[in-house]
Structure 1
Amino acid sequence: MLTVLAAILGVVSGAAAWVLIHLIEIITNAALFHELSTTPTPLSELDPNWTLFVAAMGGALLISLLAKWAPVIRGHGIPEAMEAVLTKQSRIAPRTAIAKPISAAIAIGTGAPFGAEGPIIVTGGSIGSLIGQVLPVTPSERKILLAAGAAGGMAATFGAPLAAVMLAIELLLFEFSVRALVPLAVATAVAGGMHSALFGDGPLFQIPSHDFAGLDVLPAFVLLGIACGLLAIVISRGLFLVEDLYRKLPIGNFWHPVVGAIGFATVGLFVPRALGVGYDAIDDVLNARLAIGTVAALALGKLIAWWLALGSGTSGGTLAPILLISSSFGTVIGTGLNLVLPGPDPGVGAFAVVAMAATFGAAAQAPFTAIVFVFELTRDYDVILP
């Protein structure tokens, strides 16, 4: 029965991903570009002005109102799913399946620097949990359904079914078992198929080929790994610091997202591409289409905007921001290493790709998932060793 339910969860997760991504595009076009369209408009075309503050603050107020009905929408989703597994016998409130994607679409559509993957993951997980609460299953089986729904959400978003299985095992199930593996594999395979049917079957990011051959290039990647580990520490501790600062504000939690909106909108005035999901910006960084100064500004702007937004308690995912921050950081570090280290130059795009895996693995404490994840995003086998 679990296998059949997992297949259903894969279909539902794929549909949820399609609906949320298109809802984000509609809200983005309406709020930031003042037009009604389902065609995504890159934020590089945004003309930032005072209306950006109106959109961001309006979205923040809507999210604060929605949080009164469903407080679980605050945050990026994965920790909430982990909490449900650890403390609530994998029970997630049914309203989460509705409130989380709506709040995330509002936040991202009005400029918040988040990804859609976290909300889709928690939506899939909450649907799996709901099925497990309605049907007569054991807490262990309900946990498997929650993990299968969450993994399906990740596979449907990124087209990365293998990484989705590993993420569910490392962060939600905390153990490997054949009984759990089969439903996870079925859910992610179906969701991955949904991704191919709805979004195309190519890699999410098109990157040029890189020459990783030869041991003489590995010392540069060792240094990059150390730098990315430090970046992961900065990302995490900086977020905790910002959250503490919000708690010290002499205003209620209801107004924190509004303060965060003012903050990330201010960043958006100077670095518009730091706002929103940022997949197009990641693609430009990986393909070395941007000047190094622009890349550095993008990394810093995205990091500050993300801190201010997520620390305020609004709703959105963290994977896409980390991918943009780390790929930009890797480009900057790679440019510097190429200047001071002898030997072949694999290209700054290679450093950007490896930095994504290293930073994500360090930040999530899931290194194997990170390696497989970046491989599936790029379909570049050569990236595995560095």
Structure 2
Amino acid sequence: MPTRQTATVLLFLRKNLRRLEALFFGAKAVLSERSFLYLSCVAVAISCALAVIVLKHFAHHVFLMATYVNQYLKLPYANSIFPIIGIVLTVFVIRKFLDGSLEKGSSQILYAVAKKGGILPKKQMYAQIITSSLTVGLGGSAGLESPITITGAAFGSNYAQKYKLSQKDRILLLACGVAAGIGAAFNAPIAGVLFAIEVVLTDVSISAFIPIMIAAATGALASNVLLSQDILLSFKAIKPFDYHNIPYYILLGIVAGLVSVYHARNFRRVEHFFHRYRLHSYRRALIGALMLAVLIFFFPTLFGEGYESIKSLSNAQAEVLLNNTLLEPWQSNEWVVLAFVGVVIFLKSIATGLTLGSGGNGGNFAPSLFVGSYLGFVVAKTMDLTG
């Protein structure tokens, strides 16, 4: 019976998809080239926003499940098990359903633009969503933003191929997908526009600017309507600017530059460590996932994207980061909390390298936000505690 119901649902979706495609082909015949491009960028943006919603919902609810297991079922270290399951499942999906390979990282978008005329394979429309949701959603210490941008680019590229648009419009819709994905993930359309223009379309013209803005705004609006504020990385607090703090901002900038160099180099070093040895993919996954599980056992804030812990810091609730750790009895000691946060800064690159190097899928953008927010807290708290 469930099989028959599933087949009925798939048939219904297939019929409606064909009707939608026929509608867009009709719109292309009626509308001008420019008008159809505007309609296309909205369609691509909505598709990207739906992908973001699926990813974010899955990751958020797995985090809530892990929290429930820790607090209410009295299994405080059970969240160390989830990343092992997620990484092994990711490797299984790649081997069995994705021809044993999956291109990771936003660099493939740049390669597609520069060398392939903006053409991305169809499997990138779903491969990144499935694998990154398994890896990051189940606690892998990486981010969803890189898979989201690749998915958005694939939506734009394959849409343009479907409706036989020119290479110029194909690359433009690819950039629209990237802008919509970032706008939807962060509820930040301006960031999506800037990323698409500065990274994807280095020689952007004024005519390309409007479709990218429409796509980024559509993606942000869709995610803002359909996603709750608990899932999005958002801040409501407004702090007045005080020019007396400029020396501290300069200090933070210098320290952040040094830490960013460490983070980037150490992340690559750990990731390449696994590629240096020709291990079976499942063995590599188990070794890396077990090492990651040990880190999460001692430092639970390394679980998943880490956005919940960033919100805790922004709400002046840093002591909650010590929940379910060996240091929980010292939550009231501000120096212990500060030392814990400081150590996590240097461990995040290792955790991310283990996640991706062992076979998981994700990005390094969210970990960089994680490290930056923790570093800002450490600098500010150190200044406060030392007077």
TM-score category by the smaller chain? 0.7 to 0.9
Tell me, what secondary structure is at the counterpart of 1:23? Answer: helix
Is 1:109 paired with 2:137?
yes
Q: Is residue 2:239 matched to residue 1:210?
A: yes
Q: Supply the AA of the counterpart residue of 1:20.
A: L
Preserved contact between residue 92 and residue 126 of structure 1 (Cα < 8 Å):
yes
Corresponding residue of 2:355: 309
Are the equivalent residues in 1 in contact too, given 2:180–2:192 (CA < 8 A)? yes
Match of 2:182 in 1: 154
Aligned to 1:48: 77
Among 92, 100, 103, the alignment partner of 2:120 is 92
Deviation at 1:4, TM superposition (A): 1.0
Match of 2:89 in 1: 62
CA deviation map 1:107-126 (0-9, x unaligned): 11221012222222211111
- 2:166 and 2:94 map into 1 onto residues whose CA distance is 30
Q: Distance in 2 between matches of 1:201 and 1:272?
A: 23
Q: Is the 8 A contact 2:302 2:348 kept in 1?
A: yes
Contact 2:266 2:349 in 1 (8 A): no
Unaligned 5+ runs, structure 2: 1-35, 319-336
- Which of 36, 39, 55 is 1:4 aligned to? 39
Displacement of 1:84 in angstroms is 1.6
Deviation at 1:307, TM superposition (A): 2.1
Report what 1:369 is aligned to.
none
Matched, 1:130 2:174: no
The amino acid of 1:11's aligned partner reads: I
Q: Distance in 2 between matches of 1:23 and 1:287?
A: 24
Following TM superposition, by how much is the alpha carbon of 1:93 offset from its aligned partner in structure 2, in angstroms? Answer: 0.8
Offset of residue 186 of structure 1: 0.9
The alignment partner of 2:279 has SS state of coil
Q: Distance in 2 between matches of 1:46 and 1:187?
A: 44
**Counterpart contact for 2:90–2:359, Cα < 8 Å:** no
Query: How far, CA to CA, are the matches of 1:108 and 1:240 in structure 2?
Result: 18
- Whole-Å separation in 1 of the counterparts to 2:209 and 2:124: 25
Aligned partner of residue 95 in structure 1, secondary structure: helix
Q: Distance in 2 between matches of 1:337 and 1:23?
A: 38
Give 3-state SS (helix, strand or coil) of 1:8's partner.
helix
Equivalent residue letter for 1:305: A
Deviation of residue 340 (structure 1)?
Answer: 6.7
How far apart are the structure 2 equivalents of 1:206 and 1:95?
35
In 2, distance between residues paired with 1:262 and 1:313? Answer: 13
Q: CA deviation at 1:256?
A: 3.0
Amino acid at match of 2:266: G
CA deviation map 1:203-222 (0-9, x unaligned): 833354434322x3212211
- Percent identity, aligned pairs only? 27
Relative distance call for 1:33 and 1:337 in structure 2 (3 A) is: closer
Q: Judging changes above 3 Å, is the alpha-carbon distance between structure 1 residues 89 and 72 closer, same or farther for their aligned structure 2 residues?
A: farther
Distance change in 2, residues 1:101/1:42 (3 Å): farther
Aligned mates of 1:207, 1:86 — CA distance in 2: 40
Q: Out of 239-248 and 161-170, give the one that drifted further.
A: 239-248
2:377 alignment counterpart: 331
Q: Which runs of 4+ in 1 moved over 6 A?
A: none
Contact persistence 1:67–1:74 (CA under 8 A): no
**Structure 2 residue aligned with 1:375:** none
Q: How many residues are paired up?
A: 330
What residue identity is the alignment partner of 1:6? C
Identify the match of residue 258 of structure 1 among 282, 286, 290: 286
Quick one: distance in 1 between partners of 2:103 and 2:287?
Answer: 15
Equivalent residue, structure 1, for 2:52 = 17
* Native 8 Å contact 1:275 1:305 kept in 2: no
C-alpha contact 1:275 1:302 (8 A) present in aligned 2: no
What is the distance in 1 between the residues matched to 2:307 and 2:176?
Answer: 25
> RMSD across aligned C-alpha pairs, in angstroms?
2.7
- What pairs up with 1:261-276 in 2 under 5 angstroms? 261-276=289-304
Q: Give the Cα–Cα distance (whole angstroms) in 2 for the partners of residues 327 and 179 of structure 1.
A: 37
Tell me whether 1:234 sits opposite 2:262 in the alignment.
yes
- The CA distance in 1 between the partners of 2:273 and 2:363, in whole Å, is 21
Deviations 1:85-114 (A, max 9, x none): 222221111111111101111111221012
Distance 1:328 1:272 in 2: 14
**92-101 or 330-339: bigger deviation:** 330-339
User: Counterpart of 1:21 in structure 2: which amino acid?
Assistant: K
The answer to whether the 8 A contact 2:87-2:140 is kept is no
Report the CA distance shift for 1:192/1:56 in structure 2 as closer, same or farther (over 3 A): closer
* Matched residue SS, 2:56: helix
CA distance in 1, matches of 2:198, 2:357: 25
Does the alignment pair 1:320 with 2:366? Answer: yes
Give a deviation string over 1:137-192, Cα, whole Å, max 9, x none. Answer: 22221111111011111111111001100001111111231121111011111111
Q: Which deviates more, 20-29 or 154-163?
A: 20-29
Unmatched segments (≥5 aa) in structure 1: 36-40, 342-386
Question: SS at 1:109's partner residue?
Answer: coil
In the other structure, the counterpart of 2:173 is 145
**CA offset digits 1:269-292 (Å, max 9, x no partner):** 011121112221111112231132
Residues 33 and 220 of structure 1: is their aligned pair in 2 closer, same or farther, counting only changes over 3 Å? closer
Quick one: structure 1 residues 316 and 192, their matched pair in 2 at CA, closer, same or farther if it must change by over 3 Å? same
